[in-house]
Amino acid sequence: METRKEIKILVWIVILFVVAFFLPYESTRFMTAVVATFDLVKWYAREHVVLCLLPAFFIAGVISVFVSQGSVLKYFGANAKKWLAYSVASVSGTILAVCSCTILPLFSSIHKRGAGLGPAVAFLYSGPAINILAIILTARILGFEMGVARIIGAVTFAVVIGIVMSLIYRKEEKAKREEQMNIILPPEKRPMWQTSFHFFTLVLILVFANWGSPSSDDTSSAWYYIWAYKWYITGFFSLFLAYSLIFILKIKWQWVLGAVVATAISALLATHFISDPKLAPIVPMLVGIAALSIITLYDKRDEENREWTLSSWEFTKQIMPLLAVGVITAGFLLGSTHDDVAIPGIIPNEWIAWLVGGNSVFANFFASIVGAFMYFATLTEVPILQGLIASGMGKGPALALLLAGPSLSLPNMLVIRGVMGTEKTLVYIVLVVIMATISGMIYGSFF
């Protein structure tokens, strides 16, 4: 046994030595891919982690601690009415407006609370796929028919993939149903409307804090005005959160007031001293999250308030390292594309555009595969596709990538594997890729 361990260490030493010895730093493409990796990591850390992922972890904590197991079982459990479970799960993305990584803590939370595999997977897919902002942007930039096809395909995918997963693993689901029938649930600690108010307040803060900017020529639509005033709107809902902390979670009002004042002062100082409008909001968000963590961790009135933050921290520890590995890998292989930046990875973009031209089975399948592994932040898939279509990408493969891309990514896959296991994760990925391929071919034959 000891010999095997030493051999394993030797193998790793040899592998690292060979990699270092043959490191192709003189290759322009290799060095460009390295730059793309660091660029994507930096952009992800600046614009995604603080404003998007951290609030999502706290929302997942709410589900884990405050949302009763009875409520999860009622809407998503193995014994829940199928039409209700799949209806709620398949349209959840219109409310959440999250990306493939932000949905992960929420999925992990409802999965742990006893949600049936089918509804949980439908929720996992629909969260990023039916992002209402992205669908509107798709219709405006890529065409109305593409927007309609995306929303029909996404809702259908969520339901069909969830049902197929539940059928494949029906023995496990049957055992789960029998187990849940014998669960004796404790009484609700607080009225459902209070928990819902707290939950949706956090969701609205997440949505408006990450409201995407409109196109450069759009200065009069409702979308533009919401974007222009999104931080005022976010601040307004933050006051709702303060109300919830005091009157629902029963945290001392002096503590909450102190947290509000500290966050407001940090916002004023950031606006005054930080010139970059994209970086300035990060400061009050960090201060607000830190203040929220402190007042909940030190609250002595209700142990659940402390558990909320500890549960959020558990999701952070579970998900963040895997996301980091996934973002680094995706950046190196496929490059960094965001805002006005387009840095190719080790796989040339020209190859991708060439391989997805026309409407062949291979073009749609390849587009689905690329979309499944590539990381798309919320709304970025639309301008990326706009460039690929201009380079010769067919409309069928474009839809295939739209249906596979936002709901999956390499970082996303690594985390799902930790929640569902390798086999279920592979089945989920295969179902998404196959359905995206078929949908792309059908759409491409008409348009």
Q: Is the pLDDT of residue 391 over 70?
A: no
Which residues constitute the domain of residue 162? 27-251+299-446
Least confident interval from 23-37, 70-84, 108-122, 138-152:
70-84
Q: What tokens does 300 get?
A: 């002595």
| pLDDT at residue number 184 | 60
Q: Is the pLDDT of residue 69 over 70?
A: no
- Domain-located, residue 258: no
Residue 97 region by backbone torsions, left for phi larger than 0, else alpha for psi between -120 and 50, else beta: left
| pLDDT at residue number 258 | 96
Q: What tokens does 407 get?
A: 């709901």
- Domain-located, residue 127: yes
| pLDDT at residue number 411 | 79
Write down the residue that tokens 């963040």 correspond to: 320
Q: Measure the CA–CA gap between 306 and 72, rounded to whole angstroms.
A: 21
Mean residue pLDDT of the chain comes to 83
Residue 341 region by backbone torsions, left for phi larger than 0, else alpha for psi between -120 and 50, else beta: beta
**What sign results for the dihedral spanned by CA atoms 409, 411, 416, 417?**
positive
| pLDDT at residue number 72 | 67
- Domain-located, residue 286: no
Per-residue confidence band for 56, with pLDDT thresholds at 50, 70 and 90: confident
Domain count, the chain: 1
Angle at 54 between CA 52 and CA 56, to 5 degrees: 70
| pLDDT at residue number 140 | 67
- % pLDDT > 90, the chain: 28
Q: Is the pLDDT of residue 124 over 60?
A: yes
| pLDDT at residue number 105 | 78
Q: Is the pLDDT of residue 98 over 70?
A: no
| pLDDT at residue number 338 | 72
Could you tell me which residue, 26 or 390, shows the higher pLDDT? 26
Q: Is the pLDDT of residue 412 over 70?
A: yes
| pLDDT at residue number 261 | 96
Per-residue confidence band for 378, with pLDDT thresholds at 50, 70 and 90: low
Q: How many CA atoms lie within 13 A of 29 on its CB side?
A: 7
- Domain-located, residue 219: yes
Mean pLDDT of 147-152: 86
Mean pLDDT of 212-233: 84
- Domain-located, residue 269: no
Does residue 127 sit in helix, strand or coil? Answer: helix
Per-residue confidence band for 133, with pLDDT thresholds at 50, 70 and 90: low
- Domain-located, residue 17: no
Could you tell me which residue, 76 or 95, shows the higher pLDDT? 76
- Domain-located, residue 45: yes
Q: Is the pLDDT of residue 82 over 90?
A: no
| Number of neighbours of residue 198 by Cβ within 10 angstroms | 23
pTM listed for this prediction: 0.71
| pLDDT at residue number 185 | 57
Write down the residue that tokens 């380079």 correspond to: 391
Mean pLDDT of 336-342: 75
Could you tell me which residue, 225 or 184, shows the higher pLDDT? 225
Per-residue confidence band for 100, with pLDDT thresholds at 50, 70 and 90: low
- Return the bridge partners of 341, or none: 338
Could you tell me which residue, 236 or 78, shows the higher pLDDT? 236
- Contact of 297 with 383, CB cutoff 8 Å: no
Per-residue confidence band for 257, with pLDDT thresholds at 50, 70 and 90: very high
Q: Is the pLDDT of residue 410 over 70?
A: yes
| pLDDT at residue number 438 | 92
Per-residue confidence band for 313, with pLDDT thresholds at 50, 70 and 90: very high
- % pLDDT > 70, the chain: 87
- Domain-located, residue 309: yes
Per-residue confidence band for 340, with pLDDT thresholds at 50, 70 and 90: confident
